Amino acid sequence: MINLTKTSIKRGPSEAPEDVHLPFLAESPVWLMRKGRTEKAERSLRKIHKSTNNYEATMDMNILEDEVAREMAAEANSTWASLIRDPIERRKVISACGAMISQQINSIQFFYSYGLVFAQSIGISQPFTISLITNLLQVVAVAVSVALGNKVPRRMNLLVTTIMMFCAFIIVGGFGTRKELTTGFSTAIVVFSYIVIIAFNFGLGPLAFAMASEYSAGRNRNKIMSCAIVSFFLTVWVIAFTSPYLY
């Protein structure tokens, strides 16, 4: 039985370094410019470029001003109603939300949220080691995806990785139908679950965000991305909530 209280207390100090560093980080100059705080934005830029000798913020300030002006002009023509009435904007919303929903509808959250319980239930003697390997695989797969993201065709990436996930899910499900799981079958289930995690974090995981961002281009970009992110978290909640009952 896992003692969640002790686990939380032990993990608490790991958040301390982030909290300690936050007061010393520069505020976003873009956000400050949007709020009309020009002087603070310039100070923030100087703080960010503190290590640059003879840094002049004038050029960056002009770039930020132009960018903010374009955003404000686009926002003036942006409405929530157009996301429904305008067929082009409606298609963007469906595509962006669909990308984020499809990222989570495959139940990848089951491995992240309940991987430890799952490993214990199939008789793995060292479930925490399995959980550690899962987290390491995520980091490595995402890092490789970022490095090769613009070198590998996205459609081919998604085709290969989703086929890998589909086949791995079928095999895991087939092994799970056995009444008694031997050590060999349990190990095979874990290995194929790793294949799912690697394929997801190399393909659909990061690419869904990239596709949603590209689908959202235009005057309603912020509104469409907001809808996509809401769809993402709603799907995460539904999958995380229902997975234990389906399992």
- Among residues 118, 102, 104, the alpha carbon closest in space to that of 193 is found at 118
Residues 133 and 195: their CA atoms lie apart, in Å, by 12
User: What is the rounded average pLDDT of the residues 189-202?
Assistant: 89
pLDDT tens sequence across 127-179? 788 778 888 888 898 888 888 877 888 889 889 999 999 999 899 888 878 77
Range from 20-24, 195-199, 241-245 carrying the lowest mean pLDDT:
20-24
Could you tell me the two tokens for 18?
């982030």
pTM: 0.71
- pLDDT category of residue 90 using cuts at 50, 70 and 90: very high
- pLDDT category of residue 95 using cuts at 50, 70 and 90: very high
Q: Which CATH architecture has domain 82-246?
A: Up-down Bundle (1.20)
Give the chain's radius of gyration (CA, Å): 23
Q: How far apart are the first and last CA of the chain?
A: 19
The answer on pLDDT for 18 being more than 80 is no
Q: Which of 3-7, 94-98, 135-139 has the highest mean pLDDT?
A: 94-98
Calculate the CA 66 to chain-centre distance.
30
**Domain residue ranges of the chain, discontinuous segments joined by +:** 16-76, 82-246
Q: Report the pLDDT value the prediction gives residue 19, as an integer from 0 to 100.
A: 64
Going by C-beta distance under 8 Å and a sequence separation of 6 or more, which residues neighbour residue 188? 171, 175
- pLDDT category of residue 15 using cuts at 50, 70 and 90: low
Residues 105 and 237: their CA atoms lie apart, in Å, by 11
Higher pLDDT, 136 or 71: 136
